[in-house]
Every structure is written in C-alpha cells, then in structure tokens.
Structure 1
Amino acid sequence: MIGQIGLYPGGEAKGKEDWKCYLHGYVSSRLMKLADEAVKSGEEGLPLCVAATKVDGFVLSLTPNTHNYNYRSAVLQGFGTIVEDQEEMIWAMQLITNSVVSDRYTNTRVPPDGAEMQSTRILKLKITGASGKVREGVPQDERKDMKREDVLDTVWTGVIPVYEKLGEPQAGPYNRITKVPEHVTRFVTEENKVREKYAFDAAHKPASVKRVKRGEDS
C-alpha cells in the first residue's frame, strides 16, 4: 500500500497528536472492509501496525559477525478508520500522490471522477505509538579483532553506499507530449541528489544507532 503522514488543514491547533498516516487502497480490499466493520461495531477503529525500512549502506567489517547495514526504519501503531469526508479524501489523495512524485497531482487530470471516488478508499491511521531506529556510520569491530595486525592487514573494511537511482523518464505508448514536463525532470534530478548524498554522508559518520519512541505513556 502507498501511504503518507500528514496533518489535515484545520488540525494544526491540536499539534503533533493529530497527524495521521493516510493509506490508499481499493474499496473492496479486505483491510478496508475490516476497518469499516470495526467502526460500525462500535470500536475505535481497526488495530494496525505499519512498518517501513530503508537500507542506506552495506557495512563491511573484519568478521561476518560484525557486518551490518546503515538503515532507517519506523513502526507506527494505531487505529485505522475510513475517511468519509470527501474534501479530506481528495486532500489525502493529493498528499499521497505528491509523496511519490512532487507536484504530480496538479499535473494530471483531476479531480477524480465519480467512478474513481467510489472505487477508492483512504484509510486514516490514528497514531497511538511509534518507534524509529536509524543506523549510520563506519564499521565497528570488536576490540579483540582490532588488536590483530594480521587481520587488519588482510581484510578490507568500509561501507558500500546503497541508494535507489531514478532513471531517465520513458514516454508511455500513447504519450503525446514531446518534452518531459519540468516537474518530472526536476523531481528526478533533485531526488537522485538527495538519495546519493544521504547514503554517502551516512557512510562516513561515526558508527551509531539512534532510537526514538512515542506512545501514550511517553
């Protein structure tokens, strides 16, 4: 599923507690049906857990046991409900679309027509708990291996930066626009720079693992 965290206009006064995770799906999907049934049965929503991980580098150390990854990961817990308000639904569609390619929504045929609105559901996750974990930096070996000159002299250590590179946009079979739109070329160029820079920066930082957690009791 495609999703994005956002704060629906009008909820700013409530602060971070009102930020939601919006998930895009088909009307007849099992997840959407379960969320709808949960609310109709009097529950707060469908209990959900949303997880994502992004690998930024392969960390190669002296021994297989201490090899690692540079990565970013996050887990959200909460209760999912179906977005019924049409304005919020369209706002969420725009949020999710632009999270894939910047400024894409307004550069398409919009707004969605009646059939599209009826076949689409937006699931809104009220976040009750969240945790994140990030590993950055160079290899980190055990002291016993760092004292072995024979190992240090024969094993290469370092980080292979990992990042997705967006390729040259390819026209579709019925495309009539001769020039790739500026919002597409700009997105490809800027996004490639950001992804590459983060992966290489992470490869040169001191080794560290950062954890953050948010919940009802924190």
Structure 2
Amino acid sequence: MSNEEPEVYEKTARSTVNRYRPRAKYDHETIHGIIDSSLVLHVSFNPTSIDEDPFPTILPMLGCTGSYTADGAEETSATAIYLHGHIASRFMKLPNSPSVHDQALPGVPVCVAATHVDGIILAITPFNHSCNYRSAVIHGYATLVEDPGEKMYALKLMTDNIVPERWDNSRVPPTEAEMKSTGVIRVDIVSASAKIRAAPPGSDKTDVADEETRKRVWTGSVPTHIKYGTPVPAGENVKAEVPNYITNWISEENSKGEIYSRKIVS
C-alpha cells in the first residue's frame, strides 16, 4: 500500500466549499473520477461581448480528463479536461476571439460541472429531504488543440471513456474531413472541488421522538443509478452478435451503479 499523500487541488476563494464543508473533496482522484464517469458535462463561459449578449452561456458537452505525452517528450502534461464539438460552433471559435487575446489570457475562462444523483432522500419533514449525489466544479482556461497527435489522443480517449474499447472496434482512423470538421478543446485546470453526499436520511431529534408522526410518514431512501438497457441493432448492422466488450461493459456499469447507490444508505 502506498504511503504517498493524494494529490489535491489548492483551495481558493473560488473553489472552497462553504456549505456542508465535511462533504467537500479536493483530491484529484475524486474530482477526475466524477468528471470521467459523467455522461454529460456542463460547460459555461461568458459571451465575447456584454454589449453583444449580456447572458452567460452553458453547453452540455461530452468530455473527460486526460494527460497527454507528446512524441519524444520526457514528461506527461498535467491532467486537463478534453471536450469536442463541431469546428464551426461558437465555443470552438472562442479561443481565437479578440476578447481572449486583448486581455492576454492563456485561454477562455470556463467552468465545467458534473453531477451524479445517487438517491432520493425522504426524511420526516420536507425540509430535511435531500439527494445523495457526487458533484464536481472545475475552473480553467480553454484552448483549441492544434497538435495532431494530441488531438487524435483526445478523440480516442473521449470515445473509449464512453464505451471502453470502442475506438479500436469502429472504423478508424478518422478521415481527413472528419478531423477538419471536429474541434478539440483542452481545459487546463486552475481550481477544482467536489461535493458528495452519501448517507441515509437525517431527521431532527424532535421529529424522531414523535412516534405518531413516524407511524404516519414513511422515511427512507430511493437508490438511484443509471441503468444501461439491452443493445438495439441499427438497421445497417450486419454483425450477428453484440460484442462482449459492449455487453460486459453494460453489466459491469449497471452492477457498479446499483451496488454503490444501495451501499451508501445501508
């Protein structure tokens, strides 16, 4: 067993959790794990000009964390968040916008958020109802990935993060047109924190002492997790059976989600 201290993100005024501080986590493993296991990441950023649009923007995107090692490099880059989208989208154009360069920023300031709901908590009073959850909030600077090696690394990483082994079991490598039309953003992390609730209901002592109310009101938890269904073949599909890498992944993910959501309230 390693005695090394876990790597943590430094607490800042921006990232420090103030409400329910014991639920806060700042270690890399927890934060990266929440990001990588979330089906959707929400990415928020400011418009290029307040005069043009006063409202902030938030986009649902696919992405995950990764650390790229360039060919011939001795060191691996710090862990960043990779996102992808069509090269013509506004978000993909932002890193080259005048507002970024005029302020001499290292990239577009963004916030990336991810959340898992692991259960619905039903206490005696509605004011003590809650959810079990895992959430992470990351702030960082977004830049467009220009290096072909890093771009290919990120695309494979994001594909396999959704379904492991999928990249090598699909039509690859991508065509030149596919690579030109797809942009990859790297978010270099500046600050990050996670917040987790993993517990059964917590009711006030006065409510717990009220036998009549307890007889009338059911309390407990409803475990919640993502359940992947039976694969449905596409009309174009001619492969006879669903590959093991897909069925095994479905089985493992469904089991893992159910076990965790029940264990934390038992």
Task: Verify same fold: TM over 0.5.
Answer: yes
| Match status 1:4 vs 2:69 | no
CA distance in 2 between counterparts of 1:48 and 1:23 reads 12
CA positional deviation for 1:43: 2.4
| Match status 1:31 vs 2:97 | no
State the one-letter code of the partner of 1:190: E
Q: 1:97 maps to what in 2? A: 159
In structure 1, the gaps of 5 or more residues are: 205-218
SS state at 2:235 partner: coil
- 1:1-218 paired onto structure 2 within 5 Å: 1-9=61-69, 13=75, 18-37=78-97, 41=102, 42-204=104-266
In structure 2, the gaps of 5 or more residues are: 1-60
CA distance in 2 between counterparts of 1:119 and 1:85 reads 15
Contact 2:69 2:75 in 1 (8 A): no
CA distance in 2 between counterparts of 1:130 and 1:27 reads 27
CA positional deviation for 1:201: 1.1
Contact 2:69 2:76 in 1 (8 A): no
CA distance in 1 between counterparts of 2:255 and 2:147 reads 38
CA distance in 1 between counterparts of 2:143 and 2:195 reads 27
State the one-letter code of the partner of 1:24: H
Tell me the percent identity: 40
Contact 1:39 1:81 in 2 (8 A): no
Equivalenced residues, count: 202
Q: 1:185 to 1:36 in 2, by over 3 A?
A: same
Contact 2:68 2:76 in 1 (8 A): no
State the one-letter code of the partner of 1:169: P
- TM-score under structure 2 normalisation? 0.73
CA distance in 1 between counterparts of 2:76 and 2:248 reads 34
Relative to its length, the structure with more strand (as a share) is: 1
Relative to its length, the structure with more helix (as a share) is: 1
CA distance in 1 between counterparts of 2:227 and 2:209 reads 39
SS state at 1:187 partner: helix
CA distance in 1 between counterparts of 2:203 and 2:146 reads 53
4+ long deviations beyond 3 Å: 10-15, 38-42
Contact 1:26 1:120 in 2 (8 A): yes
CA positional deviation for 1:130: 0.5
What are the Cα deviations for residues 11-61 of structure 1, in whole angstroms up to 9, with x where unaligned? 88568xx10000011101101111222665542100000111110000011
